[in-house]
């Protein structure tokens, strides 16, 4: 295992924080994968239609031997396992798992774009990512710190996991 990947987690239906906890357990149990760290959980206002509940967001860092598309399949299987409900475009959902970064790889496939297309302009991704890895540099050479947003519209609702080994 030697590929570090960052996964964005988001939920705003059916006990969102519990969905994130459960997803972290599932990430920790993936084959050939170790969960290295998770950020705090943040409450964030919805991007998209405003008549939906606030989201809970976090970012996890994993070390994995799964190739990017195999990892994507595994993330979608976790979403489905947790009874993913998605009602409308940019609407409410039980669980979203986005592959944000996979090492320094850039991919532009029909099923998968890495880095994730929304990474640079979503506070609910940038802030937890920054908490985990303030010195991160993106594949295009841009430092995360230069993206770090000035607006502070995210509220921390749970502290980070201290010891991911307890998840196994
Ligand atoms: N808005 C917030 N705040 N958090 C999300 O995780 C999120 N995910 C989405 C859309 C619908 C774009 N809005 C979101 O997919």
Q: Is the CB of 49 under 6 A from ligand 1?
A: no
User: Would the CB of 55 count as within 6 Å of ligand 1?
Assistant: yes
Q: Which residue has the higher pLDDT, 152 or 46?
A: 46
96 lines ligand 1 (CB under 6 A): yes
d(CA 50, CA 43): 14
- As its CATH architecture, domain 3-162 has 2-Layer Sandwich (3.30)
Dihedral angle of Cα 143, 149, 152, 153, to the nearest 10 degrees? -110
Residue 153's pLDDT is what? 81
Q: pLDDT tens digits, residue range 123-147? A: 999 999 999 999 999 999 999 999 8
Pairing mode of beta strands 113-114, 155-158: unpaired
> In which band, very low, low, confident or very high, does the pLDDT at 160 lie, cut at 50, 70 and 90?
confident
Predicted structure pTM score: 0.94
Average pLDDT over the chain, rounded to an integer: 92
The full DSSP string for 70-135 is: HHHHHHHHHHHHTT--B-STT--BS-EEEEEEETT--EE-SS-EES-TTGGG-HHHHHHHHHH-TT
Atom of ligand 1 nearest to the CA of 9: 6
Residue 86 Cα to chain centre, angstroms: 17
Query: How does pLDDT run across 74-87, given as a tens digit for each residue?
Result: 999 999 999 887 78
Residue 57 pLDDT class (50, 70, 90 cuts): very high
Could you tell me the pLDDT band of residue 150, with boundaries at 50, 70 and 90? low
Choosing from 42, 79, 124, 154 the residue with most ligand 1 atoms within 8 A of its CB, the one to mutate for a pocket test is 124
- Mean pLDDT to the nearest integer, 1-7: 91
pLDDT at position 151 over 70: no
Ligand 1 atom with least separation from CA of 92: 11
The response to whether residue 48 sits with its C-beta less than 6 Å from ligand 1 reads: yes
What pLDDT does 149 receive? 66
How open is the CA angle 150-8-90, to the nearest 5 degrees? Answer: 85
Given CA atoms 95, 83, 109, 1 in this order, what sign does their dihedral have? positive
Task: Sort 141 into a burial class: Cβ within 10 Å, 0-12 / 13-18 / 19+.
Answer: exposed
Closest residue by Cα to atom 13, ligand 1, is 47
Residue 87: the pLDDT is: 80
Q: Residue 117: CB within 6 Å of ligand 1?
A: no
Domain boundaries, the chain: 3-162
Residue nearest ligand 1's atom 15 by CA = 90
pLDDT for residue 56: 97
């Amino acid at each position: 295992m030697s590929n570090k990947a960052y996964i964005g987690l988001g939920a705003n239906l059916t006990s969102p924080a519990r969905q994130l906890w459960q997803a972290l357990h599932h990430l920790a149990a993936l084959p050939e994968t170790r969960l290295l760290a998770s950020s705090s959980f943040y409450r964030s206002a919805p991007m998209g239609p405003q008549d939906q509940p606030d989201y809970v967001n976090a970012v996890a860092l994993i070390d994995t031997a799964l190739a990017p598309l195999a990892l994507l399949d595994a993330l979608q299987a976790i979403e489905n396992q947790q009874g993913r409900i998605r009602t409308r475009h940019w609407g409410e959902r039980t669980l979203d798992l986005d592959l944000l970064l996979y090492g320094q790889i850039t991919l532009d496939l029909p099923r998968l774009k890495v880095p994730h297309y929304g990474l640079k302009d979503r506070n609910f991704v940038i802030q937890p990512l920054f908490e985990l890895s303030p010195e991160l540099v993106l594949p295009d050479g841009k430092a995360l710190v230069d993206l770090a947003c000035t607006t502070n519209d995210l509220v921390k609702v749970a502290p980070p996991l201290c010891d991911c080994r307890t998840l196994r």
